[in-house]
Structure 1
Amino acid sequence: MTVTPEGEARPKRKRMPRAEREHQMIETAEAVFAELGYATASMDEIAERVGVSKPMLYEYFHSKEGLLLACIRHSRAELRSVTEHAVTGAGDAEEAIRRGLHAYFVFIREHRQAWSLLRQEMTLLGTSAADEIEATRQQQTDLIAALMSGYFASSPRLQVEASAEFVVGACERMAIWCERHEEVTPELATDYAMDMVWNGLRHRAGA
């Protein structure tokens, strides 16, 4: 408790746990980067929106690029989590792939700010952030390749890897297309993607 000049007791403000504060900073930074673009966004703007000092932002992330890297890693971890959860318990290859695609398109729709960061790759070439974006893409490729390997055991490893690369690249472009067509729901996007992807894979699953 502190005492005001008028002699009134004032409750001491509870300090936010570090992990919670860091999460708040990352979410706010995602919004600012998405709204203004990485080059234009400033640490002053982010600090003001969070309600902390700029030195505190630097204490947590060291630099604006460090904060961007934290945002991308946070998004990558969330995307991995929702994808893995979606495919758990799938009955067959078709269901697993459909579930994984749907989880991806739902993530893009519900995490527009995070997705916006991943689309800024061309403006970040030559930076650590571009490497982190590619790591996100590689994460999804590896997840899909592992999933396919489980269902298409007879397929050569290189063919499985090539198929996974194709799925990730195609879905990334389709997600960009979906931004221009708000009427395309995650369910419809999944149907469109499955129409192309599954027709090329079903023979390997004996469908």
Structure 2
Amino acid sequence: MGRPHAARARKEPEVSVPDTGVRGGRLPRSARRAQLLEAAQSVFVEYGYHAAAMDEIAERAHVSKPVLYQHFPGKLDLYLALIDQYTTELPALVREAIASTTDNKQRVAAAVGAFFSFVEREDAAFRLVFESDLLGEPAVAQRVQQMGAECADAVTKVIQEDTELPSEQSHLLGVATVGMSQIVARYWMQEKTIPREEAERLVSMLAWRGLAGFPLHPESGTD
């Protein structure tokens, strides 16, 4: 009669789990991809593209190299995935800023602010876009140029709505406004000698007062 109790007390056999090469445990594919991109970004920002190593990226992501290569065949694939993300994000920020108000003066200020928001990200994504040591790579250069063109187009529309300038001249001013905003935002991020709000106000004032020197549409304000 004691055997059933003995059987219930018997220790369960240990089951060996095969090594999948994933030190961080199983994750859905999308979550694993996001984890790998986050690790890759930190390595690229710290070392630059050419000095970054796939071993270091795998280590920071807490996965084995085979797992990393399952998602991204090479280092350039990782970098392009990040570039795709951020060169899409910045124009979206600019368009969202412009759409936040119908007042064109405030639209210009909001667009300038979008660049400051982008460079102030904690992950320093702007370094991959604007300060990359891979800008000579055609695939990277094309994406960065397209991003700049989309930002300039968004600002150009504001200028065309507010002035009587031809489209070509409006576009040139849009490019100038975007270029100024990007360069000054990056400079401010490095130096931070004045508060961000003051830096944005100064750049916005410079941009708007410069644009105010051009002939306005009859329905436009004069501020």
Work out the CA distance in 2 between the residues paired with 1:6 and 1:77: 54
Q: Is residue 113–residue 200 contact of structure 2 (8 Å, CA) maintained in 1? A: yes
TM-score where L is the length of structure 2: 0.78
TM-score where L is the length of structure 1: 0.84
Query: C-alpha displacement at 1:123, in angstroms?
Result: 4.5
1:143-162 equivalence runs, <5 A = 143-149=154-160, 151-152=161-162, 154-162=164-172
Q: Is residue 105–residue 190 contact of structure 1 (8 Å, CA) maintained in 2? A: yes
Query: C-alpha displacement at 1:7, in angstroms?
Result: 4.0
What amino acid does structure 2 have at the position aligned with 1:96? R
Work out the CA distance in 1 between the residues paired with 2:183 and 2:36: 29
Work out the CA distance in 1 between the residues paired with 2:13 and 2:153: 63
**Correspondent of 2:199 among 189, 199, 202:** 189
Q: Is residue 79–residue 107 contact of structure 1 (8 Å, CA) maintained in 2? A: yes
Q: Percent identity?
A: 28
Between Structure 1 and Structure 2, the one with more helix by share is: 1
The unaligned stretches of length 5 or more in structure 2 are 1-10, 17-23
List per-residue Cα deviations over 1:91-143 (Å, max 9, x = no partner): 31001111121122012112552111123345431442222222222221122
Q: Is residue 24–residue 50 contact of structure 1 (8 Å, CA) maintained in 2? A: yes
1:58-207 equivalence runs, <5 A = 58-121=69-132, 123-149=134-160, 151-152=161-162, 154-203=164-213, 204=216, 205-207=220-222
Work out the CA distance in 2 between the residues paired with 1:132 and 1:29: 19
Count how many residue pairs are aligned between Structure 1 and Structure 2.
201
Of 27-36 and 52-61, more deviation after overlay is shown by 52-61
Q: Greater Rg, structure 1 or structure 2? A: 2
Work out the CA distance in 2 between the residues paired with 1:112 and 1:50: 15
Q: 1:48 to 1:197 in 2, by over 3 A?
A: same
Work out the CA distance in 1 between the residues paired with 2:182 and 2:50: 23
Work out the CA distance in 2 between the residues paired with 1:199 and 1:122: 35
The unaligned stretches of length 5 or more in structure 1 are none
Q: Give the alignment's Cα RMSD to 1 decimal.
A: 2.7
What amino acid does structure 1 have at the position aligned with 2:199? A
- Classify the secondary structure of the residue corresponding to 1:180: helix
